[in-house]
Structure 1
Amino acid sequence: MIKLYFTKSSSTCRKAREWLINNKLPFQEINLTKATLSHKEIYHILSLTEAGTDDIISKRAAFFQDIAYNFEDLSLTDAVSMIKQNISLLRIPLIVDDSHIQVGFNEDEVRKFVPRPARKVKKGLLDKKLYEIHLEKLQEQ
């Protein structure tokens, strides 16, 4: 199941939500202003990243700018606890399933959540439409 970690005030989060709905993908919404993430959820999110906390921590977050020590110097356990206590550290939206993560919203990259067979069908339909347009242009000449 896809999980969308979001805040209502973010236009990027609204775009991600709209994209998931338009693509008819079932997902669970987790409002970060109301929800408390478990250590297990945070570890799962981190397990899907390529660069660990660098991928999911917002360097612009007020709390991040206020801390007097280097976040990278924390142990993994301490970093997870810090994220749990200060959820505003997370970049949003976060779109997560069992094996993928999307930090922020990028319409091309988020397609990884569409099952492969559906992506092939959509590509086939697009190829067919492009072929029809090409034929129409040839007939006009």
Structure 2
Amino acid sequence: MTIKAYLYDKCGTCRKAKQWLQHKEIPFETIPIVDAPPSQEELRQMWKNSGLELKKFFNTSGQFYKELNLKERLPGMSEEEMLKLLASNGKLIKRPLLTDGKKVTVGFNEEQWDATWAQP
């Protein structure tokens, strides 16, 4: 399966990640995370496959995260509420978000990406 790369054009980290993928000649499909965020069900599957805490999917440095006071609110929210909120606004999702249907990475960490995506 092709890697789905949820990216935001105005994000420097996303541009760096895209260049990394191109440099490594890894085929991927770019999906604009703001215009076409993953659905609640897609996010649930990515979260389960990632092995990460759900809160790691939030873009904690983003404007909406701060406006919605999510630092205070997230601890009291259910997983369903968090998934619904993430699916409602792509800017709330930490990016870049990559998945091939099985593996998932959130954010750009070159060592992690080498281990996860650059394997033949």
TM bin (shorter chain): 0.7 to 0.9
Paired residue for 1:86?
Answer: 89
Q: TM-score, normalised by structure 1?
A: 0.72
Pairwise CA distance, 1:51: 3.4
Paired residue for 2:10?
Answer: 9
Matches of 2:20 and 2:67, distance apart in 1:
34
Pairwise CA distance, 1:52: 2.2
User: Is 1:27 paired with 2:28?
Assistant: yes
Pairwise CA distance, 1:98: 2.5
Classify 1:40/1:48 alpha carbon distance in 2 versus 1 (closer, same or farther; 3 Å). Answer: same
Paired residue for 1:125?
Answer: none
Pairwise CA distance, 1:114: 2.3
Pairwise CA distance, 1:89: 1.0
Q: Which runs of 5+ in 1 are unaligned?
A: 119-141
Larger relative contact order, structure 1 or 2 (CA cutoff 8 Å, min sep 6): 2
Partner-residue secondary structure (3-state), 1:28: strand
Structure number with greater Rg is: 1
Pairwise CA distance, 1:97: 1.8
Runs of 4 or more off by more than 4 Å in structure 1? none
Name which of 113, 117, 133 aligns with 2:117: 113
Matches of 1:100 and 1:49, distance apart in 2:
6
User: Is 1:54 paired with 2:45?
Assistant: no
Percent of aligned pairs with the same amino acid? 24
Matches of 2:42 and 2:7, distance apart in 1:
14
Pairwise CA distance, 1:48: 2.7
Pairwise CA distance, 1:22: 1.7
Q: TM-score, normalised by structure 2?
A: 0.83
Matches of 2:118 and 2:40, distance apart in 1:
27
Q: Which runs of 5+ in 2 are unaligned?
A: none
Letter aligned with residue 117 of structure 2:
F
> How many residues matched?
116
CA contact (8 A) 1:49 1:55 kept: no
Pairwise CA distance, 1:33: 2.2
